[in-house]
């Protein structure tokens, strides 16, 4: 799997981190970024094939491989050894071949001990992403924390088992992820229907709809979800669909659903996940640049990645982090 480079647009790395080849991964890698430019599973608005390139470059600062975090007091792109393996070749007209190649790429990264961070692409890619990590840690040994407006637990879509409305069902059916270690946050709207909800309940999934999150508070729901996610599992896969955020703050996505989290809430939640949980893999999906206004959604997705990496770097540093500490205290 020699570095393919970009499928669409210029060959750039995430904010200037060093490039690498999947068939010769650097032995010191802590994190390897992989692009998954696939939108063959979309059910409404396409365009997420352009997501990886948009996420990589959505920043007004120099692309110099450095991003000091004001809040966490780390530089995730320097304190962690982060590389970018480019895009996996994913022709949207060949869904089966595309997801097979992505699964192999993610497993290749996970097998080295590095954390794969996959830039989507539509949410179809969560199936090969989490499966690739489970192939390394063991089927049923990976829990999944899933931020999304939609459950993505449908059975078929347009007669196909492969699509962005079905990856979570495929993960559970395959045994890669246990249903009772599947945590979903941000669901809302008018899908899925009763039959699919009954299936989810039978798998013992835990799905936090926005009404519950508003009533209880996001932090309370996260704390409960983390307890489940770390019980009898060896790692956590974090899957972030940008449509979990209200479309007023993330318009560039294929299936916008009003009434979601704010961008601030998502960034805080991702920070908590990656600071408190043993993260084994991450994907950030459903950025569709053709529907984005002023790159709002791409900027958010870029910051989701940075927030995740900053929290992982701070967790590895080992000293407690105090979110109440004033910015200039101790500097």
pLDDT digits (tens, 9 = 90+) for 181-197: 999 999 999 999 999 99
pLDDT for position 292: 98
* Per-residue pLDDT at 167 exceeds 70: yes
Q: What is the mean pLDDT of residues 277-283?
A: 98
Strands 279-285 and 115-120, sheet pairing: parallel
pLDDT for position 41: 87
Spatial separation of the C-alpha atoms in residues 113 and 309, rounded to whole Å: 15
Give the number of C-alpha atoms closer than 13 A to the C-alpha of residue 115, restricted to the C-beta side.
24
Q: What is the mean pLDDT of residues 23-37?
A: 96
Residues 196-209: tens digit of each pLDDT: 999 999 999 999 99
Residues 80-93: tens digit of each pLDDT: 999 999 999 998 88
Measured CA to CA in angstroms, residue 173 lies from 105, 140, 170, 245 at distances of 22, 11, 5, 28
Give the pLDDT band of residue 3 (cuts 50, 70, 90). low
Q: What is the mean pLDDT of residues 133-138?
A: 98
Spatial separation of the C-alpha atoms in residues 119 and 49, rounded to whole Å: 10
SS3 50: helix
Give the pLDDT band of residue 156 (cuts 50, 70, 90). confident
Short-list 260, 248, 238, 3, CA closest to 116: 238
Q: What is the mean pLDDT of residues 275-295?
A: 98
Check: CB of residue 66 under 8 Å from CB of residue 60. Answer: no
Short-list 52, 12, 16, CA closest to 301: 52
Give the pLDDT band of residue 287 (cuts 50, 70, 90). very high
Measured CA to CA in angstroms, residue 67 lies from 24, 54, 305 at distances of 26, 18, 11
Give the pLDDT band of residue 314 (cuts 50, 70, 90). very high
Q: What is the mean pLDDT of residues 296-318?
A: 98
Q: Packing angle between helix 296-317 and helix 263-276, nearest 10 degrees?
A: 30
- Percent of the chain having pLDDT more than 90? 90
What Rg do the C-alpha atoms of the chain give, in angstroms? 18
Give the pLDDT band of residue 331 (cuts 50, 70, 90). confident
- Residue 163 is given by DSSP the state S
Spatial separation of the C-alpha atoms in residues 200 and 277, rounded to whole Å: 24
Coarse DSSP helix, strand, coil percentages of the chain, rounded to the nearest 5 percent: 40, 15, 45
Spatial separation of the C-alpha atoms in residues 170 and 22, rounded to whole Å: 26
* Per-residue pLDDT at 30 exceeds 80: yes
State residue 235 phi and psi, 5-degree precision: -170, 165
Q: What is the mean pLDDT of residues 76-81?
A: 98
pLDDT for position 2: 60
Spatial separation of the C-alpha atoms in residues 137 and 145, rounded to whole Å: 16
Spatial separation of the C-alpha atoms in residues 10 and 270, rounded to whole Å: 29
Q: CB under 8 Å to 120, separation ≥6 — which residues?
A: 36, 38, 48, 51, 52, 283, 284, 285, 286, 287
Alpha helix locations (H) across the chain?
51-57, 76-79, 95-111, 126-137, 167-174, 194-202, 210-216, 218-229, 263-276, 296-317
Among 135-144, 158-167, 232-241, which stretch is predicted with the lowest mean pLDDT?
158-167
- Residue 66 is given by DSSP the state -
* Per-residue pLDDT at 157 exceeds 80: no
* Per-residue pLDDT at 1 exceeds 70: no
* Per-residue pLDDT at 5 exceeds 80: no
């Amino acid at each position: 799997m020699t570095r393919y480079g970009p499928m669409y647009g210029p060959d750039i790395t995430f904010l200037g981190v060093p490039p690498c080849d999947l068939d010769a991964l650097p032995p010191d890698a802590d994190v390897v970024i992989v692009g998954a430019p696939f939108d063959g599973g979309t059910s409404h608005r396409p365009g997420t094939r352009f997501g990886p390139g948009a996420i990589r470059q959505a920043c007004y600062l120099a692309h110099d491989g450095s991003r000091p975090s004001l809040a966490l007091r780390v530089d995730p792109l320097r304190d962690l050894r982060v590389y970018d393996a480019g895009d996996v070749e994913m022709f949207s007209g060949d869904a089966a071949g595309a997801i097979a190649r992505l699964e192999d790429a993610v497993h290749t990264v996970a097998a080295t001990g590095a954390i794969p961070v996959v830039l989507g692409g539509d949410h179809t890619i969560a199936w090969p992403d989490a499966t690739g990590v489970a192939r390394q840690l063991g089927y049923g040994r990976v829990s999944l924390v899933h931020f999304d407006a939609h459950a993505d637990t449908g059975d078929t879509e347009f007669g196909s088992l492969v699509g962005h409305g079905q990856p979570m069902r495929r993960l559970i059916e395959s045994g890669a992820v246990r249903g009772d270690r599947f945590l979903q946050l941000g669901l809302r709207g008018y899908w899925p229907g009763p039959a699919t909800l009954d299936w989810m309940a039978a798998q013992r999934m835990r799905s936090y709809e926005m009404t519950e999150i508003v009533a209880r508070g996001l932090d309370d729901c996260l704390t409960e979800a983390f307890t489940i996610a770390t019980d009898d599992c060896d790692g956590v896969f974090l899957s972030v669909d940008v449509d979990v955020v209200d479309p007023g703050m993330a318009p560039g996505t294929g299936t916008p659903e009003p009434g979601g989290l704010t961008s601030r809430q998502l960034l805080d939640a991702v920070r908590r996940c990656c600071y408190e949980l043993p993260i084994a893999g991450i994907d950030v999906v459903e950025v569709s640049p053709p529907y984005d206004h002023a790159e709002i959604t791409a900027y958010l997705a870029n910051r989701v990645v940075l927030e995740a990496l900053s929290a992982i770097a701070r967790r590895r540093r080992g000293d407690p982090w105090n979110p109440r500490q004033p910015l200039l205290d101790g500097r």
